[in-house]
Amino acid sequence: MEAKEEKTVRRSEDKLKPKLFSVIKNYSKGQFVKDVIAGVIVAIIALPLSIALALASGVGPEQGLYTAVVAGFIVAFLGGSRVQIAGPTAAFATIVAGIVATEGMDGLIISTIIAGIIMMIMGFCKFGALIKYIPGTITSGFTFGIAVTILIGQIKDFLGLTFKNAPIETIDKIKEIFISLPTINWSAVLVGIISLAILILWPKKLEKIPASLIAVLVCSLLVKLTDINVNTIGDLYQISSAPPHLTVPEISLGRIRSLIPNAFTIAVLAAVESLLSCVVADGMIGSKHRSNMELVAQGAANIGSALFGGIPATGAIARTAANVKNGGRTPVAGMVHSVVVLIILVKMMKYAAYIPMPTIAAILFVVAYNMCGWRNIASTLKTAPKSDIAVLLVTLILTVVFDLVVAIGAGLVLAALLFMKRMADVTEAHTWVDVDDEDTDPDNILLKKIPERTRVYEINGPMFFAASDKYKYVLDDHDFDVLCIRMRNVPAVDAAGVDAIKRITDRCKRHNIKVVFSHVNEQPMHAMTKAGFIDEISKENFCDHIDTALERCAEIERELKAGKKED
């Protein structure tokens, strides 16, 4: 019964049907009011964050709002979650900044479109469940690394430094910060400290009103009224209040080929972060998201965002949580959030020119702190195995020193190698002899009567290439007539595992030893059938239980003895 219910839930999660189309059937006026209120509040939260994250990504402030409008609406309309809020997030800031610096805006648009196509293919191919196989240590490592790079990238504006160069790499930024320390602007530092104080202390008093909005309003008024020497967004960027408009880049096959690594990084990161946000939201509202539909929606959202002047988007955990806390329970809240951001963009964007850059830096400091997950890192360093710690630290360091492409690639390779080593360590093959034992397990081989000229070997663990050396001693001696290979604890074999079994059976054949297999599981049986073992060993020598296998061994011994007597 439980298995049937689990299959039903799994089928529901795999459905390629937007959640909006499911929940709208029982939609009520009361819920509409709650969704509108939640959507407006989330829009107010998203406004300063979208601007700050756009600036951290090396693009104009309005492009962050374009992302919130276009991607936010598409994800709400097509997505597989009831409450997901999408938009620009801190995870993409350093990636986008690097792409814009090296490839320009056209390169970013093309990369994001390709990433969107990859995510849609992942969704249609039902890869949603595969995301969970990315180790948590890799996610923690690159998330902390991104937080570090964001923090370092904002020190310049927080201190009001004047850079002689425009470094792209994090290490180069650190060098430039130290070189430029004599140019520190104490007025900028004061505004930054005031902004930080508001961001830290305000939520303790009035959590309903976003602290980032209060910091923006207070510090913008402070800079405007006192006319102190602090850079504002208007000093560094040209502000546009135009709504999102279609932007088509120049595309060539060579350009697409060169941008595929960037696109793959965006796609994987967007998929992981979006589905993680969905899981968090599920826990808050007691629902189940549709992971494959969410991937399709995120892919479409990124394509739409890129074509209408935005940057890469993903599910935003903080904004999604705010949506839930304020009563949002359907995708309507996410659509309202996008519409409200669009209205603010068109009607009030000109006031963004007054926002001080140290305030933007302070907002991003808090974003970096909230996303870094240092408590999780500390817990991992204290309690996790050394292999997991190694994966985490390698991913973290490479994210900071190089980039996310290198970090994720190296992290996955290292995690895979260490996982294979662990699996190889637990894989073993050992022989049993006929002895008395008090064990109460009826299937314990020590309690079985083993025929006189029979050897029983039991293999435990997956048979794959990293464990192939574990089977070398199976035929160290040949003083027996029948070999029984017990495989009840072998969940899977690969080509190297099949080859190892083949070598064992070939040696048995050369020494006139018959082979009987006991309890071969489904996947190994399928692999062995494809390799021709059924024909070679004969079907009756594949037994479903050790008792049956031992009876078959005894029968073979009797046949051999009878044959010798006739000779």
Looking up tokens 């050369």 gives 510
pLDDT recorded at residue 12? 55
Amino acid at 144: F
Bridge partners of residue 517, in order along the sequence: 485, 542
The pLDDT assigned to 345 comes to: 93
Q: What pLDDT score does 219 carry?
A: 94
pLDDT of residue 474: 64
What's the rounded Cα separation, in Å, for the pair 362 and 373?
18
| Residue whose structure tokens are 């071969």 | 520
Which residues are CB-contacts of 304 (< 8 A; sequence separation ≥ 6)?
70, 71, 74, 116, 310
Nearest to 82 by CA among 327, 272, 318: 327
SS3 call for 94: helix
User: Could you give the C-alpha distances from 469 to 416, 465, 473, 509, 520, in angstroms and in order?
Assistant: 19, 8, 9, 21, 21
φ, ψ (nearest 5 deg) of residue 488: -65, -25
Spatial distance between the Cα atoms of 31 and 332, rounded to a whole number of angstroms: 9
The answer to whether 245 touches 70, Cβ cutoff 8 Å, is no
CB atoms within 10 A of CB 347: 10
Helix (H) or strand (E) run with residue 193 in it:
helix 186-205
Spatial distance between the Cα atoms of 76 and 60, rounded to a whole number of angstroms: 25
Question: In this structure, are residues 139 and 395 in contact, taking their beta carbons and an 8 Å threshold?
Answer: no
DSSP secondary structure letter of residue 463? B
Angle at 405 between CA 399 and CA 407, to 5 degrees: 40
> In whole angstroms, what is the distance from residue 505 CA to residue 10 CA?
41
> 199, 362 in Cβ contact below 8 A?
yes
Q: Decide if 358 contacts 188 (C-beta within 8 A).
A: yes
CB atoms closer than 10 angstroms to residue 140: 22
Tokens 């390709």 locate to 114
299 near 120, Cβ under 8 Å? Answer: yes
List, run by run, the mean pLDDT of 10-residue segments along the chain (567 residues): 47 78 90 93 89 91 95 96 93 88 93 96 88 77 85 91 83 91 94 94 78 90 90 87 89 91 91 86 87 95 96 91 89 96 91 90 88 83 83 89 78 81 67 49 66 87 72 68 89 84 86 91 89 86 91 91 71
pLDDT attached to residue 335: 97
Contact 107, 255 (CB under 8 A): yes
Q: Which of 117, 110, 60, 66 is nearest to 88 (CA)?
A: 66
Extended strands (E) in 222-339: 314-315
Please give the angle made by the CA atoms of 148, 265 and 73, to the nearest 5 degrees. Answer: 90
Which domains are delineated in the chain? 29-240+248-384 (no CATH), 428-566 (3.30.750.24)
